[in-house]
Amino acid sequence: MQKQVVEMKQSVGRSIALLTLIAAVVSCRPLREEQDPPVSAVPTATVESPTRVVYPNVPGSFVAVAKKVNPSVVNIFTAHVVRQSPFFGMPGLEELFGHRQRERVQRSLGSGFIVDSQGFVLTNYHVVRGADSILVQMEDGRHAKATPVGAEPAIDVALLHIDMGDLTPAVLGDSEAVEVGEWVLAVGNPFGLSHTVTSGIVSAKGRKSADMGMAGSSYQDFIQTDASINPGNSGGPLVNVAGEVIGINTAIAAAGEGIGFAVPINMVKTILAQLKHSGRVVHAWIGVGIRELASDVKKKLGIPHGVMVTEIFSDGPAVQTGLRPGDIVVSFNDKPIDGSGELAWMTNTAGIGNMAALGIRRGRETIVLQVKVAARPVP
């Protein structure tokens, strides 16, 4: 019995010694090169959450657009000599002292932009109307006298020419493709602050002349924007985020803020060649008298748009078409007609001598008549 106890103690002692040796070996063993370092030595990685894009179409900056457009924009300075009597028309004084006149120079500011390398510049007609001298200044400080080439007062557009080389023409875009809510920039010379860039959006399309206070004009389809436009911006470009000109800034609503209007560039492109070659737009017609349709009449007839033919002129091209008084013109070359101004503009820009398709509502029947666009007779 005593012998068994002794052997058991010896066995336990050998086991303890063996465990001690293994522990010592393990604790002293160097780390292998491929072994991961202790967890405490690894820095904690920061996991960034993905950026949430709320408005994917909002540009981060307009810098590239401004750099592209500014070399094409010009400042326009005009001077107009006004002659008036020093007696302000007071009766008796002119007869007493003679019909003497004094001269006063009226100066104004405006903007414009280069449309080709030949030196043609687009601006507003009201910027250069009646000017005795016109000076154009480039972004790089160069300046030149400008010569009026042509104008279309009905849409407030004028074409100038400067004799200067190394010009950067603006890229003319497609105003028809512009959408409400789209970002735009207005570039110009407000209050003499050269090449000022302001941003905004397209607030509306298809504004009529009456909306702009241009009651004497029959042309329509102006672009409304809330990009800041001030005196001196007139004639400057309204551009999209691609740096393409989509309009010519022409008017502001005096009674409010953030309400400006631009002539659509597509409207200008249709007359640009005529302004270059002849200095004026030869107005066209189809030889009909028309009147607007009230909304209740349209509803009764079941048509969303159109104008009524009231007269067929004997010397006009419509005589040969079979068009009748009482017919309703609902489209012109497949484009809907909602007012007399739209029909006048589409006729003027269809091209003299070209055939146009008139969509006609006659009773409950819809027909298409072909009419040849002709030059309007000079009164």
What are residue 182's phi and psi, to 5 degrees?
A: -75, 140
Residue type, 297: V
Distance CA 217, CA 207 (A): 12
In terms of Cβ atoms closer than 10 Å to its own Cβ (0-12, 13-18, 19+), residue 69 is buried
Contacts of 56 (CB under 8 A, 6+ apart): none
Whole-number Å distance between alpha carbons of 55 and 183: 12
Cα distance between residue 178 and residue 204, in whole Å: 10
Q: How far is CA 285 from CA 235, 321, 339, 356, 375, in A?
A: 28, 14, 15, 11, 6
Question: Cα separation of 294 and 212, whole Å?
Answer: 22
In eight-state DSSP terms, residue 175 is: G
Contact 342, 221 (CB under 8 A): yes
Nearest CA-CA partner of 229 in 198, 269, 193: 198
Pairing of strands 244-252, 171-172: parallel
- Dig out the tokens for 264 from the structure: 């659509």
Which helix (H) or strand (E) is 342 found in, with range? Answer: helix 340-349
- How far, in Å, CA of 131 to CA of 350, rounded? 32
Q: Give me the active site residues, please.
A: 126, 156, 234
